[in-house]
Chain A
Amino acid sequence: MPAAPDHPSSACPRPDASRLLRDAGGKALSCLQCGMCSVVCPHAPDIAPWPRKEMLWLGWGRHDRLQRDPDIWLCRDCGHCARLCPRGADPAAVMAALRVDACRRLSGNLPWARLSARLGIWGLLLTALLGWGIVWLVRAVQTGSWFPVARTTPEANGILFAALYPVGLIDAIFLLTTLIVLLILGRGACRQWRAYAPPGKLLRAGPRTSALSDLWAVLRDGLSGRDFARCRMPAAPFPPETGGRDAAGQTTDADTSRPLRLGHLLLTGSLLVLAAVSGYVAVGHWAGLLGWSWAFASPLPLRDPVKLAANLAAFTLLLGLWQLWRRRHAEQRHRRLLPQGRQMLLLFFGITLSGLAAQWLRLAGTPAAYAVYTLHLALVWALFAGLPWSPLAHLVYRTVALFRVRRYGRCRPHTFSASSDAKDA
């Protein structure tokens, strides 16, 4: 696909505007502004719906308007607009590219991010592997063995990851990374909030609600993936084979949004469980450092309910990933998807499979467990370190955008319950 030229009459030129257009599918400028995309979008509201206005702003080079636009985060990437666009301009790809661009802008274009953008998530992974290899080397020199054999716990079959990488070391690396990532995301969220705040007083459409209940509603809808239910594509209202008289032709309606909803729900739930397990294990370890009596050391025995929950979560994570992967392949038959999502899914697959494999090899007593565990650590670190520029950054930025629009009442999608007569308007 040839690179689309930057629009000659860009109102707010950007040096990298052509890259944005290329990421957006390269055909965004062929948009005719017919407005079909805004009508088929199941989430767009009645006033100033997306994505037509974003297509217009991109075509005009109004990057200032795009930066102040929370609507790019309200798109759930169901792809109806891309499938039905009469010009093939692919508004869904435009919205996705705008989100990637917003991540880059909000999280800051650090050297780290530039490297990640150039090499993709794999570059980051390579760096991580290299780094963990050095740590392994240093530890091997210290302990005098590449595969240290632990004598402390009989049930670990002689393999103890903590003997190679002490918990303190892992904690230091990951807590430091997490802290930096959180700072970057926090700064991005503040930038985003300031960009959305219009000058003057904000008028609220509809009844006033408390900020806390708004935040709760945003988190509830986001974590449960409830909004995806609206992404389903309704079937033709009058199938031609019934002579066009069967208005209730809903039975043929295939729920295309199901893999997305299910995958998102499984992924979110599993990750929450795994995060809780990690927190539990960390607390147990720190309690040991403080000399408290209820402290425990990892690894937990396999029959421990927490360990069982973690393993179950790993399997549901795989199930969710499989749903998302399947959905991605089904979508790719109709439209172009950005490569970032695929990289993220592969990274998650790698993390889950390497984690399960490391556990299995450890229980089997194979020294190769150390190598797989190193790979697992490197993958997890790559996920953490690249988070502010990866699709996972939507955790923060979409939440901020959703919270913002909920604050001024732009949360209800259109309902055509009361249609007006053509004469009235």
Chain B
Amino acid sequence: MAGLTAAVEAAECGISTHLVEISSSLGGRVRALASYFPKMCPPSCGLELLEGRLRRHPRVRLHLSTRLAGYAASDGRHELVLQSLAPTGDGQDEPAAPSAIRCDAVIVATGWRPYPVAHLADRGVGHPLCLTNVQLERLLSPDGPTGGRALRPDTGVPPRRMAFLQCAGSRDVNHLPHCSAVCCSATLKHCRILLERLPDLHIDVYYMDLRTPGRLFLLREALTEHERAGRLRFLPARPHRAEPDGDGIRLPAENSLTGERLAYRYDLAVWATGMRPSLSPHDISAAAWPNLPENWQGQPLPQAETLPLPLLLDRQGFVMESGQAGIFAAGCAVRPMNVAESVRSGAAAAMRALAHLHRGTGAAGTRQAARQEGDHA
């Protein structure tokens, strides 16, 4: 979303723009969402508008199913080597020949990935009745696998008792030390959707703190009615793990307000797994990063096959600043943020790229801002 916005804004300011996307469609993770908060509208409404603007614009060149294969800096400009991943159509497995583009500014909007469930295996997240918030989002989406209905994966019936576990992997020194910023609001949104769709459902939200800054607090306000009806509870507790119990799962926890231990049983538990930047070196195999130095934090990463750009990453893999003038970052590549913030971040990055172009001394006319977007798995 940040990348799309940046591309559209830059193009509409009169800059010829290349949009490089590794997947075959635009929209990234936002396309898979069920709805935006706080307005609860489906993501297609904003995306279609943006995509229409983008596709109509003559200055935008789309490179779908394309990855960045190489990078070189030459006298203040950037040379990007693009490698198409799409089948060539002549029945051969030969990859298409790489093409090169030259540009004056690069915006990196590589987005995020959910924290892998395998890292939370000792908390029992591998149980079939445990979902992640990303999976639930997909289930609730109208074009999801169940047509927007949240069902128990084993029996296929709607759940009667559900639990949401916040900060699963986030704000945890053993996992992601940062707050993923969107999970609390996402959980409140899920609660609202589920409680409205399933009249028999009871929900418990296990939290450390509920973080809903600014207008997002209205999400919480909108739920007071369900809370008063006893269908929704907020429990200041952090279950250590999910354990099997009969046909459901049990979540042992301590209510830190009352000091008593709880062990309620649920049909479905949703773990709010956090956001990790796609550029995080933690999930990139050693094969892809053969020359990764021992203390790579804060160092320009070596040019690797996954994203050969001179970027400064912090401990978690968020982009701190570009290693070279003219490379900017936007969206969840910078820090965890929601869709609205991503849009603003994309626009801001486009603005900074424009300022960079105007500072330059080269002849006008052939200036291009190339955009780089997508998952670099």
Contact = CB atoms under 8 A, between A and B. Distances in A.
Interface of A: 32-36, 38-40, 44-49, 52-53, 83-88, 235-240, 243-245, 247, 414, 416, 419-423, 425
B256 A422 contact: no
8 contacts: A35-B237, A35-B256, A39-B238, A48-B260, A84-B174, A86-B171, A422-B163, A423-B160
Interface in B239-266: 239-245, 250, 252-256, 259-266
Nearest to A415: B263
For the complex of A and B, list the 7 residue pairs with the smallest distance between their C-beta atoms, beginning with the closest: A244-B126, A35-B254, A34-B238, A238-B126, A86-B172, A422-B264, A88-B173
B252 A416 contact: yes
Contact of A32 (B124, B202, B208, B263): B208
B147 interface: no
A52 B208 CA distance: 13
A239 to B, nearest CB: 6
Contacts of A243: 126
A361 B123 CA distance: 56
A422 B236 contact: no
B335 to A, nearest CB: 19
Contact of A39 (B175, B239, B245): B239
Contacts of B245: 419
Contacts of A83: 174
A233 B339 CA distance: 41
Among A38, A45, A414, A423, max chain B CB count under 10 A is at A38
Interface stretch (B37-45, B71-79, B114-122, B355-363): B114-122
A76 B243 CA distance: 24
Nearest to B207: A34
B259 A47 contact: yes
B263 A33 contact: no
B127 interface: yes
A321 to B, nearest CB: 31
B265 A419 contact: yes
A421 B161 contact: yes
A420 B265 contact: yes
A421 B239 CA distance: 16
Given A244-B128, A245-B128, A423-B161, A236 B173 contact: no
A39 B160 CA distance: 25
B118 A240 contact: yes
Nearest to B173: A88
B250 to A, nearest CB: 5
A88 B173 CA distance: 6
B196 interface: no
B105 interface: no
B107 to A, nearest CB: 34
A83 B173 CA distance: 10
B266 A49 contact: no
Interface residues of B, number: 48
Given A238-B121, A240-B118, A39 B127 contact: no
A420 B264 contact: yes
A423 B160 CA distance: 9
Among B118, B204, B261, max chain A CB count under 10 A is at B261
B263 A49 contact: no
Given A244-B128, A422-B204, 6 more contacts: A48-B260, A236-B122, A243-B126, A414-B252, A419-B263, A421-B265
Nearest to A30: B173
Contact of B261 (A33, A46, A87, A236): A46
B48 interface: no
A48 B259 contact: yes
A240 B117 contact: yes
B143 interface: no
Contact of A240 (B126, B160, B253): B126
B273 to A, nearest CB: 14
A39 B121 contact: no
Contact of B244 (A48, A84, A86, A237): A237
A53 B237 contact: no
B283 interface: no
Contacts of B262: 425
A249 to B, nearest CB: 10
Nearest to A33: B256
Given A237-B127, A245-B128, A419-B265, A34 B173 contact: no
B167 interface: yes
Given A52-B254, A236-B121, A419-B263, A244 B127 contact: yes
A36 B166 CA distance: 13
Contact of B124 (A85, A238, A423): A238
A49 B254 contact: yes
Nearest to B264: A422
Contacts of A423: 160-161, 202
A239 B241 CA distance: 13
B240 A33 contact: no
A422 B161 contact: yes
A170 B122 CA distance: 56
A386 B260 CA distance: 39
B37 to A, nearest CB: 25
A52 B263 contact: no
Among B163, B236, B260, max chain A CB count under 10 A is at B260
Nearest to B231: A423
Contacts of B243: 237, 416
B313 to A, nearest CB: 22
A87 B167 CA distance: 12
B240 to A, nearest CB: 4
Given A86-B174, A419-B265, A236 B126 contact: yes
B259 A53 contact: yes
Interface in B121-147: 121-128, 130
Contacts of B256: 33-35, 52
Contact of A38 (B117, B124, B261): B261
Contacts of B261: 38-39, 44-47, 49, 414
Contacts of B163: 422
A87 B254 contact: no
Interface string B173-211: 111000000000000000000000000001010001100
A34 B240 CA distance: 10
Contacts of B237: 34-35, 39
A261 to B, nearest CB: 22
B161 A247 contact: no
A292 B100 CA distance: 107
A190 to B, nearest CB: 29
Contacts of A425: 262, 264
B117 A86 contact: no
A400 B175 CA distance: 40
Nearest to B118: A240
A84 B124 CA distance: 14
Interface string B262-274: 1111100000000
Contacts of A49: 254, 259, 261
Contacts of A245: 128
B265 A46 contact: no
